[in-house]
């Protein structure tokens, strides 16, 4: 892999990741762009202890452009985009970020009832391919491996930012999920705090370690392997399963068989294996119904600065599709109280996904 760094017209960073190490990059972003918004604040919800980002500038972000106007395709003569030339994989700073380095805000006391702090962090876009009409699941293993290498590279760099506490690569797929750019891509959020679900993971992991002396996620994996009913697929280095208490009608977790904190800890063999088994899982998901499955694929990594020994890199992929013609809406119980009700038995979902192997 070869990484080439460039600077966009408004000063944002862009990184090309190429399979061909002899690849040279010379294209320049010649657009006239306004400065990236820096007035981003985060406010503390004193009733829950959760931070909420306030990002009014994102109201004007790009919304469902035509294919000809896609900002994630490579630039063409007379049609400049975010990316000056054809590419294998590209990562760049989001033009409409939820967090940004050097964020500005009128700070108030962080321990008061109306605490406000700057939204210091970073948001990046990960373009999996310059082919607008494909998907991650249709990539070759070599192309998927390049994306994995990009995730590891960016995790290493973003973890060095002083204000960053957690690095979260993810992909939103499908209009049903709320995707507004159809080009195959994901994002990476480098949060200036531990987000709520990760904080819950760490509370459980600390309690489990205190009680047993073991890693919670390693025990989850061991328990699923011992039970066997919810296992979907296994490989030399990874195991995919539907979790015991799945909240979503389609929910798949994918764990490395060896505990690592984040993508940077994976060996070359493990990265190759991950590319193959992840494509296998995505293929099964797309064969569930007559249309591509909408999903959110989130890669859970250990926090950057604390509790790293309690973390365990893994994928949590969920879909709101509960049947061929029905979606699961997060209504009163889920949205208001966070109490999930799943209409699909995890064991039945796992059996269906095992049947969909090629």
The whole-angstrom separation of Cα 248 and Cα 298 is 14
Structure-token match 């119980």, residue found: 333
Question: Pick the catalytic residue: 166, 183, 185, 201?
Answer: 185
Could you tell me which residues come within 8 angstroms of residue 160 by beta carbon, excluding any fewer than 6 positions away? none
Which of 11, 99, 5 has the alpha carbon at shortest distance from 58? 99
Structure-token match 């760099």, residue found: 157
The whole-angstrom separation of Cα 118 and Cα 19 is 38
The whole-angstrom separation of Cα 316 and Cα 295 is 10
Instruction: Quote the radius of gyration of the chain (alpha carbons, Å).
Output: 21
Tokens of residue 15, six digits: 């990184």
253 classed as catalytic: no
Residue 43: which H helix or E strand, with range? strand 41-45
> Cβ(46)–Cβ(115) under 8 Å?
yes
Could you tell me which residues come within 8 angstroms of residue 212 by beta carbon, excluding any fewer than 6 positions away? 219
Strands 50-54 and 41-45: antiparallel
In angstroms, the Cα distances linking 168 to 38, 65, 103, 165, 300 are 21, 26, 19, 10, 7
Q: What is the phi/psi pair of residue 2, to 5°? A: -120, 130
The residues assigned a catalytic role are 185
């Amino acid at each position: 892999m070869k990484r080439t760094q460039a600077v966009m017209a408004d000063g944002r960073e862009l990184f090309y990741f190429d399979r061909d190490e002899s690849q040279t990059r010379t294209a320049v972003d010649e657009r006239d762009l306004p400065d990236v918004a820096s007035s981003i604040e985060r406010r503390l919800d004193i009733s829950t202890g959760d931070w909420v980002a306030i990002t009014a500038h994102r109201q004007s972000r790009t919304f469902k452009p035509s294919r000809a106007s896609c900002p994630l395709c490579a630039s063409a003569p007379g049609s400049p985009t975010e990316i000056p030339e054809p590419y294998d994989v590209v990562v760049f700073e989001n033009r409409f970020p939820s967090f940004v380095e050097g964020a500005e805000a009128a700070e108030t006391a962080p321990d008061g009832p109306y605490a406000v702090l700057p939204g210091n962090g970073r948001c990046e876009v990960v373009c999996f391919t310059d082919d607008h009409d494909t998907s991650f699941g249709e990539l070759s293993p070599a192309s998927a491996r390049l994306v994995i290498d990009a995730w590891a590279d960016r995790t290493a760099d973003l973890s060095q930012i002083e204000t960053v506490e957690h690095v979260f690569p993810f992909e939103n797929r499908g209009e049903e999920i709320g995707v507004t750019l159809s080009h195959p891509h994901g994002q990476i959020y480098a949060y200036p705090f531990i987000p709520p679900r990760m904080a819950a993971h760490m509370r459980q992991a600390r309690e489990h370690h205190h009680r047993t002396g073991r890693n919670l996620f390693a025990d989850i994996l061991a328990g699923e392997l011992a039970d066997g009913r919810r296992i979907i697929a296994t490989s030399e280095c990874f195991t995919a399963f539907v979790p015991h208490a799945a909240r979503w009608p389609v929910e798949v977790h994918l764990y490395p068989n060896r505990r690592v904190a984040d993508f940077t800890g994976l060996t070359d063999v493990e990265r190759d294996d991950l590319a193959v088994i992840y494509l296998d899982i995505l293929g099964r998901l797309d064969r569930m119904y007559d249309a591509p499955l909408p999903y959110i694929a989130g890669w859970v990594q250990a926090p950057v600065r604390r509790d790293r020994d309690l973390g365990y890199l893994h994928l949590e992929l969920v879909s709101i599709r509960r049947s061929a013609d029905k979606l699961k809406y997060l209504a009163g119980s889920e949205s208001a109280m966070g109490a999930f009700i799943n209409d699909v038995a995890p064991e039945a979902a796992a059996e269906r996904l095992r049947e969909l192997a090629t």
